[in-house]
Amino acid sequence: MAVSIVVGTHWGDEGKGKIVDYLGENAQVVARAQGGNNAGHTVIVEGEKYVFHLLPSGVLHPGKVGILGDGMVVDPSSLLGEIDFLRQKGKDVSERLFLSSKAHLVLPYHRILDGIYENIRGGRKLGTTGKGIGPAYEDKVSRWGIRVGDLEDEKLFAQKLRVTLDYKNLLLERAFNQPPLPYDKILEDYLGYASLLRPYIADTSKMIYQFYREGKNILIEGAQGTMLDLDHGTYPFVTSSYPVVAGSLLGVGLGLGSISNLEVLGVCKAYTTRVGEGPFPTELQEEMGDYLRDKGGEYGATTGRPRRCGWLDGVILRYAARINGITSLALTKLDVLGGIDSLKVCRAYLVEGEEVDDFPVSSHLWDKCEPVYEEMEGWEEDISSVSSYYDLPSSAQRFVEFIEDFMQIPIAIVSVGKERRNTLVRKEIF
Ligand code: IMP
């Protein structure tokens, strides 16, 4: 009986989907804790590609219980679409999926306001996914939110929608000069979703606690990454939830003191990417950035946007290890670095002439961080179909061991290639 939390060490897109899919095999319960359909977790099994936005990727394994936790914001039509997609692929999750009654609903005005807020920012855009995530969390915090559990009582839902929509329409019309949204249409749509979602709604926090007490392995699938965390990321260029480990426990409603066996697996890509705006000290602007983007297929799984690419930022990795209490690492997409003569890993920054080895807390310093690199010899071979760590070229093994040494944290998994079978395990997690 154990709880494993998978957390992204940088700005998301670290390849968590594939790692979670691998770990899902030995878990009985797989859960998402925060975020919404801004996430895009890709898993490829036997040539078939699955992109998960709301469901935990581990549900691909037959019989695993899937949980959408309390800390999530859920767009019902997106969730129903995913459930349907899996059903068409012969993977019915309907008997084993549970949706927290405390999770918040994403409503049409959230998506509209997401776009309006971005436009107002002009040159200081955040580059959001446009899914309404920020406005949905904004409503949660300011207590205008409508929760999944409210769908269980039609009258109550209708009342809550009436009050909230009156306020949102006031905002849309008076502040932003936009047409009001139709109450009747939204009510009809959401009552339709309610009838389909009702069987899934549950007290998932209680369920997870009971599963843990029964000795089951629980896998919590973090979405986004440490540097997109509302408190600990590169604010304001962050998402509106808590992708760090503390947020995962909060988001599934599990108390740290109840867990005696916790593993925190940090998922780190062999290079670094970010999508959206904001600081990125190791970003590569020219040829090498394009090489990584093309070879790594670095285009957003949710929005299709090209991701910004750069060398692995070890300073951020160390920061993520501290904030999350990472106990082991998974290093992903190592194959993408093949064919590059000389590889770099950032081990410190020069900030105003001084070498620092921690991520500065003050945002005015972020654009002044000049990476200090460790250079290493690369490898020529295509390693994307390797299935044992010891079959990797020696320089690829040296790259892995350098990071392990630098971090003083074991690298439990090295991932090369897209398929489930190209997951090289150095230490068992469950
Ligand atoms: P939002 O979460 O849509 O509000 O977007 C805020 C920031 O988080 C933007 O920079 C997005 O590109 C980024 N973001 C949100 N979700 C993900 C993700 O799953 N992967 C990578 N970046 C993300």
The chain-wide mean pLDDT, for the chain, equals 96
**Ligand 1 pocket, residue 240 CB under 6 Å:** yes
**Nearest alpha carbon, ligand 1 atom 5:** 128
Average pLDDT of the residues in 358-370: 95
Average pLDDT of the residues in 86-101: 95
**Ligand 1 pocket, residue 15 CB under 6 Å:** no
Residue 291 confidence class, pLDDT cut points 50, 70, 90: very high
**Nearest alpha carbon, ligand 1 atom 20:** 12
pTM of the prediction?
0.96
Give Cα 233 to chain centroid, integer Å. Answer: 13
3-class SS at 202?
strand
Q: Which atom of ligand 1 is nearest to the CA of 305?
A: 12
What is the Cα–Cα distance from 289 to 281, expressed in whole angstroms?
Answer: 13
Catalytic sites, residue numbers: 13, 41
**Ligand 1 pocket, residue 133 CB under 6 Å:** yes
What is the Cα–Cα distance from 99 to 147, expressed in whole angstroms?
Answer: 11
CB atoms within 10 A of CB 287: 8
What is the Cα–Cα distance from 197 to 327, expressed in whole angstroms?
Answer: 37
Average pLDDT of the residues in 55-80: 96
| C-alpha triplet 308, 309, 315: angle, nearest 5° | 115
CB–CB of 422/21 below 8 Å?
no
CA-based nearest residue to 242, from 67, 42, 233: 233
| C-alpha triplet 67, 192, 136: angle, nearest 5° | 55
Average pLDDT of the residues in 316-323: 98
Give the pLDDT confidence of 123-157 residue by residue, as tens digits: 899 999 999 999 999 999 999 999 999 999 999 99
Pocket test for ligand 1, best of 275, 283, 298, 299 (most atoms within 8 A of CB): 275
**Ligand 1 pocket, residue 73 CB under 6 Å:** no
What is the Cα–Cα distance from 384 to 113, expressed in whole angstroms?
Answer: 42
Pocket test for ligand 1, best of 20, 52, 113, 128 (most atoms within 8 A of CB): 128
Average pLDDT of the residues in 234-254: 97
